Amino acid sequence: MNILVFDIETIPDLEGGRRLFGLEGLGDEEVASAMFALRRQETGGQSEFIRHHLQRVVAISAVLRQGEKLAVWSLGERDSTEAELVQRFFDGIERYSPVLVSWNGSGFDLPVLHYRALLHGISAPRYWEVGDEERAFRYNNYLGRYHWRHIDLMDVLAGFSPRASAPLDQIAQLLGFPGKVGMSGGDVWNRWLAGEIDAIRDYCETDVLNTYLVYLRFERMRGNLEEGAYRGECERLRGHLREVDRPHFREFLEAWPEAI
């Protein structure tokens, strides 16, 4: 079975904001400020979080577990277009038909990817299959909230109750995993303005590492991994991060006790 743990990072869709709100002629920071202000107005000052259809994807990171292989990476290159990133994500589903694993993927990542794929004219038949072409997808597909082809850990662990949902960072730390390393999602826009796309991609990779580790613990709880197998998967990941030996992976390892 192939497992693909994924996470996305986004910024405001500035071109979309210009088009919808008549902001042509303004600079990027001015457009974003206007979009944040409009969102605060819409929510009565409760939030400036941009709605899903106006989020632009700037990074997609993944952990792929396939047979004896394990990989942790960010899709595309630092200068890849949004369309290229989104296409690569859905191409991976076409190729591997993996079980998708996310944290709040049903509530954020996947709806954003739906809108961006629609915008860019991206074909993703495997992802949208619900049994019309392949019967196995009728009762277990990527779209069904209670199916297992996409496991939104936040939703599942909360018993599908939004009131019981928890942040990945806190759950990861409670389990002894590193949690956020280097930055948070709220820093992405300012890091993007500063041209720090590599830092954003690195941060996204540490998020999928935390998600993958929570997933392994979840699989142990479900009875799908015995204790020895769970420990083996953790050691496999440690070994991979040591072998790749990048600064954010070293920082992640330093914050992850050997006994956990």
pLDDT tens, 53-80? 999 999 999 999 999 999 999 999 999 9
Does residue 88 fall inside a structural domain?
yes
Does residue 144 fall inside a structural domain?
yes
Does residue 241 fall inside a structural domain?
yes
Structure tokens at 231: 């420990």
pLDDT tens, 18-46? 999 999 999 999 999 999 999 999 999 99
Does residue 80 fall inside a structural domain?
yes
CATH of the domain at 116: 3.30.420.10
Does residue 220 fall inside a structural domain?
yes
Whole-number average pLDDT of the chain: 97
Does residue 103 fall inside a structural domain?
yes
Does residue 260 fall inside a structural domain?
no
The pLDDT value recorded for residue 85 is 99
- Ranges under pLDDT 70 in the chain: 259
- Give how many domains the chain has, as a whole number: 1
- Nearest Cα neighbor of 218 from 3, 72, 74 is 3
Which residue range forms the structural domain that includes residue 86?
A: 3-254
Cα three-residue angle 251-9-255, rounded to 5 degrees: 15
pTM: 0.96
Does residue 259 fall inside a structural domain?
no
List C-alpha distances in Å: 5 to 8, 19, 45, 53, 114: 11, 34, 34, 23, 17
